[in-house]
A and B are shown apart, each in its own frame.
Chain A
Amino acid sequence: MNSNHSLPRIRYSTYLWVLAVLLALTLISVLITYMDLGRFTILGALSIATGKSFLVLWHYMHLKHENRFYLAMIALVLLVFVAVLVFTFLDYGLK
């Protein structure tokens, strides 16, 4: 219970590097919409968004340094959400 300082100090430069990657990914996701990817457009855009949010979670929200318990919780929430979406589409997608 005395673990009140669980967070290590993270260097400014780490944050700035992550920011640079995030901005680059944004640029890429804008650029690929000008290519005609057909049905992969949604997939491409969402994969990049997923990658970006992973970076935010991992570095900005410090998952890299936290107890694995946080990761387990996030995995559970993601699993629940994706499963709900899949079950909803068992109805809509297969009508």
Chain B
Amino acid sequence: MTPTESHRDDVGAKIGMWLFIFTELLLFGGLFIVYAVYRYKNPVAFHFAAEELNRGMGILNTILLLISSATVAMSLTAVQLNERGKSLILISITLMLGVLFLVNKYIEWGDKWGHGIYPGSEKLLELGHGEVLFFGLYFAMTGLHALHIVIGLLILTIALFRVKRNRITSSDYVLLENGGLYWHMVDIVWIFLFPLFYLIV
């Protein structure tokens, strides 16, 4: 226990969050490189494989995430204005939308699974190399993204309780701000995943 632990530096915390976000973006960056290379090598297979995905589900999930990003950003304004009730509602809406996103994802994956398309499945192996890679990347990238949604939900849940207990206030809100930053990062990743898997056919 050093005397410095009581030291508070919100700007430092925010820089730290940004740096962490960079590492997260580059983590996905590695997968985007793999995607780019294999798409370049198997253009036709990727074209046909993408048509197998449920575009409506993709659009719906995009809308959910965009709205949730707006609500979490607005919850910060609410905290700044000392409108605690409003802020709680806005964070709760965000959490709900995040959970809905996961539910959709679950239905979507389950559907693929039901059709015998999952990593290492026999049906997938029959389809050919390009399809194996496309669906491999699809499961890996959306799976990793879903994992980040879960982490984001956990951070925002903590923020929700802190707002409720008045630990996040108009004079000390860096936790909510950082949680919001993380959530927006998850949103940005999806903004790229969506066209790459569902739209470019």
B66 near A26: Cβ-Cβ < 8 Å: yes
- Residue interface bits A1-40, CB-to-B below 8 A is 1, else 0: 1011111011110011011001100100110010000000
A3 CA to B191 CA, complexed, in Å? 33
- Residue interface bits A28-58, CB-to-B below 8 A is 1, else 0: 0110010000000110011011001100110
Instruction: Find chain B residues with CB under 8 A from A42 CB.
Output: 200
A49 CA to B76 CA, complexed, in Å? 25
Instruction: Find chain A residues with CB under 8 A from B69 CB.
Output: 19, 56, 60
B81 near A9: Cβ-Cβ < 8 Å: yes
Selected from B174, B180, B191, the residue in CB contact (under 8 A) with A53 is B191
Instruction: Find chain B residues with CB under 8 A from A79 CB.
Output: none
| B36 at interface, CB cutoff 8 A | yes
Smallest CB–CB gap between B12 and chain A, Å?
Answer: 8
| B139 at interface, CB cutoff 8 A | no
Instruction: Find chain B residues with CB under 8 A from A7 CB.
Output: 76, 80, 177
Interface size on B, residues (CB 8 A): 48
A41 near B200: Cβ-Cβ < 8 Å: yes
Selected from A4, A5, A92, the residue in CB contact (under 8 A) with B41 is A92
Would A92 and B195 be within 8 Å (CB), given that A18-B70, A19-B67, A81-B26 are in contact?
no
- Residue interface bits B156-185, CB-to-A below 8 A is 1, else 0: 000000000000000110100100110010
A30 CA to B69 CA, complexed, in Å? 20
A16 CA to B200 CA, complexed, in Å? 28
Interface size on A, residues (CB 8 A): 44
Smallest CB–CB gap between B196 and chain A, Å?
Answer: 8
A89 near B36: Cβ-Cβ < 8 Å: yes
Residues of chain A in range 37-95 having any CB-CB distance to chain B below 8 Å: 41-42, 45-46, 48-49, 52-53, 56-57, 59-61, 70, 73-74, 77, 81, 84-85, 88-89, 92-93
A88 near B8: Cβ-Cβ < 8 Å: no
Selected from B18, B59, B177, the residue in CB contact (under 8 A) with A30 is B59
Would A81 and B63 be within 8 Å (CB), given that A4-B10, A12-B74, A60-B73 are in contact?
no
B63 near A6: Cβ-Cβ < 8 Å: no
Can you list the 7 inter-chain pairs with the closest CB atoms, starting with the nearest?
A: A45-B195, A19-B70, A4-B10, A53-B188, A60-B73, A9-B80, A33-B199
